[in-house]
A and B are shown apart, each in its own frame.
Chain A
Amino acid sequence: MSTLVRIHELTKNFQRGSELVQVLQRLDLEIPQGDFLALMGPSGSGKSTLLNLIGGLDRPTSGSIEVAGHDISKLNDTALGRWRADNVGFVFQMYNLLPALTAQGNVELPLLLTSLSASERRQRAAAALQLVGLSERAQHKPRELSGGQEQRVGIARAIVSDPTLLLCDEPTGDLDRKSGDEVLDLLQALNDQQGKTIIMVTHDPRAAERARRVLHLEKGQLVRESV
């Protein structure tokens, strides 16, 4: 499999008052296309920071991140935004749906940045909702959905623009076991059947078991890999 994400000597520091916090230290990592990778580690180990950097939500202090051959650390904010819209889908722990919009409206949101017509957007969003099994809840607002359903809408929003890379930050962290399993089933299906490359941050070993590879971070460094 070809390499989709190539990370070289990635360092990220934060300034907290007078103290310099080193979150990631000269980290090297390669993620092949079609991989399902779980990132585990204690709080403050740098998992979410690494996920944010791969997704272009934050900028590295030094080092480079190449995704599909593009060094995203060199893109300006506007180009980075456009790149995210075209290539990356995000799934959040707290779902982060817009409460004023229906499930359909939330899923359509990334498509507002495309040149698709309103009817094409509706069709694409309906197909994504069908894929996550929520067609009949399309016109419901987030507050009318259960946590598991909200997360499935979040996944539909992440995949509606057909990105190559899905970044999931604790996608089951706020769900009960049954709903969590449903979400993991869905992610696994997207990886197996549609070849989506998934990077998932999780504290839950049961969730990590679904991944093809598990990387363990501690104090900003990769300490172990298990398959």
Chain B
Amino acid sequence: MWSLLWANLGRKRSRMILTLASITVAFILFSLVEALQYALVGGVDLAGQDRLMSMHKVSFTQPLPRNYLERVRAVEGVRSAISLNWFGGYYKDERTQVFSYPVLGEEALHDVYPEIVVDPVQMNSWMTERTGALIGRAMADTMGWKVGDVIPIRSAIYFKKDGTNTWDMKIIGIFDNPNGDTNGLYFHFDYFNESILNQDNIGWIGLRLKDKNQAAQIAAKIDSMFANSSAETKTSTEKAFVQSFANQMGNISSIVTVIVVAVFFTMLLVTANSMAQSVRERTSEIGVMKTLGFSSARVTGLVLAESLLITFIGGLLGMLLGTLAVKGVAHAVKQFLPLMSVPSSAYVLGLICMTILGVLSGALPGWQAWQLRITDALRRS
């Protein structure tokens, strides 16, 4: 049967190549779109289930008083907590962004974010080095920075009392994160705080719970603690926080879904038309096969198998080329979209799409082949 399938695929080479090309292009696009979606909202999936984010009720750009951190730490059920600020850092030129965060409660950084892996010796050194910074592996690779380098990081948001906006930072350690972003820089809150005008404000609090099942109660407790104050809080799971951050760029999932559906619908029309044409040209051959004893089910099965084969060849080729393209692009956009890659879920979804499209595009010609009466088919030869 394989020989028959292959022979049928190769009978009209130019049509087959064009059909395969359209499927391949569709799946390249699918891979790129999936990779882009993952780059934009992939952090949602990586976000810890036992972590809460507490920020100003209005927006995370609004500051919270420094003492909130201590008060949050004191809440029962909170295992550890740190605060971070959005520094708006860049290196030399504003286009070269450096995602930098002043950290308060540095000793708990690894407890709140255990996925951050750093050499304990480097971690200890960082704790004692006032101007020290921990940078991620991706940042080190992209910028060519190494331990011991002193780098001037400027802020697009904060200014020092002397009117400048540059903080010299000494790289003390490089951290890894096996499943996530390593394009960040952490430095000491005190080093940042001591030189700015409007002191003792933090951006948001990241806290880890003793029991993740207590998330809702603890979030409510924290928010009620600061209710009716000048800086009310909104506490949610980290996942919800990342999702709301991602949603600021629009409902990415919906946009991606619309694009993918449109692409695949077009591809379905192309493949189904190609299959229908191919089967129509073979009416008398189908009649001959039925004459020889091939059942309607077997003939229809052959049509469906041919349709699936085309879709899978084109689809797998498309996913392969798409993955290579994403790898190429990922390097160029590493600084802005560090998670740019085709997620494994996209491959599973791709295989499901290939199967559905293969079956749908072969369904009508398969049904026609099933219905075809031998005498009618032979009369057309």
List residues of A whose CB falls within 8 A of some B CB. 52, 55, 57-58, 77-78, 81-86, 90, 92, 94, 96, 98-101, 105, 109-110, 112-113, 157
Contacts and interface: CB of A to CB of B under 8 A. Distances in A.
Contacts, number: 66
B292 A57 contact: no
Contacts of B381: 92, 94, 96
Interface residues of B, number: 24
Nearest to A49: B375
A58 B374 contact: yes
Interface stretch (B2-10, B135-143, B347-355): B2-10
B164 interface: no
A113 B375 contact: no
A77 B295 contact: yes
A111 to B, nearest CB: 10
B21 interface: no
17 contacts: A55-B291, A57-B378, A58-B374, A92-B288, A98-B285, A99-B285, A100-B7, A100-B8, A100-B11, A101-B7, A105-B3, A105-B7, A109-B289, A109-B292, A113-B292, A113-B293, A157-B292
Nearest to B12: A100
B285 A78 contact: no
Contacts of A96: 284-285, 287-288, 378, 381
A101 B292 contact: no
A52 B11 contact: no
B294 interface: yes
B51 interface: no
A92 B295 contact: no
Contacts of B296: 77
Contacts of B157: none
B8 A57 contact: no
Given A112-B1, A112-B4, A81 B294 contact: yes
Nearest to B374: A57
Contacts of B287: 96
B292 A84 contact: yes
B290 interface: yes
Interface of A is mostly: helix
B10 A90 contact: no
Contacts of A55: 291
B280 to A, nearest CB: 15
A105 to B, nearest CB: 6
Nearest to B291: A90
B289 A78 contact: no
Contacts of A109: 4, 289, 292
A81 B375 contact: no
A83 B285 CA distance: 20
A85 B374 contact: no
A55 B378 CA distance: 13
Interface in B255-294: 284-285, 287-294
A98 B4 CA distance: 10
Interface in B231-254: none
Contacts of A78: 295, 297
Nearest to B293: A85
B295 A84 contact: no
A81 B11 CA distance: 27
A94 B8 CA distance: 20
B7 A81 contact: no
A109 B285 CA distance: 12
A63 to B, nearest CB: 18
Nearest to A53: B375
A57 B293 contact: no
A105 B4 CA distance: 8
* Ranked 9 nearest A-B pairs via Cβ: A85-B293, A100-B7, A100-B11, A96-B288, A57-B374, A81-B293, A84-B293, A110-B292, A81-B295
A90 B292 contact: yes
B294 to A, nearest CB: 7
A104 B292 CA distance: 16
